[in-house]
Amino acid sequence: MDVMPEEPELSVAEFRAKMADVLNDAAVRGQITFITNRGRRVAAVVPVPIAEEHLGDRPT
């Protein structure tokens, strides 16, 4: 049985330092990365196809 690795979490400061890599990982590898502030998830970087699937037919 394959176990999916947990999505990485980065603090806002870590995200600032690694933003190019995080965006590349989302675009190329399909990686989701959660951004935290004081240990609480506040945002996520997700690949575009996942975001578009989530939004569905919502008007833009």
What domains appear along the chain, each with residue ranges and CATH number?
Answer: 9-55 (3.40.1620.10)
Q: For residue 6, what pLDDT is reported?
A: 76
Q: What is the pLDDT of residue 7?
A: 84
The stretches in the chain having pLDDT less than 70 are 1-5, 57-60
Coil, strand, or helix at residue 35? strand
Per-residue pLDDT, 1:
45
> What is residue 60's predicted lDDT score, i.e. its pLDDT?
60
Strands (E), the chain: 9-11, 33-37, 40-45
Which residue type does 7 have? Answer: E
Decide if 35 contacts 45 (C-beta within 8 A). Answer: yes
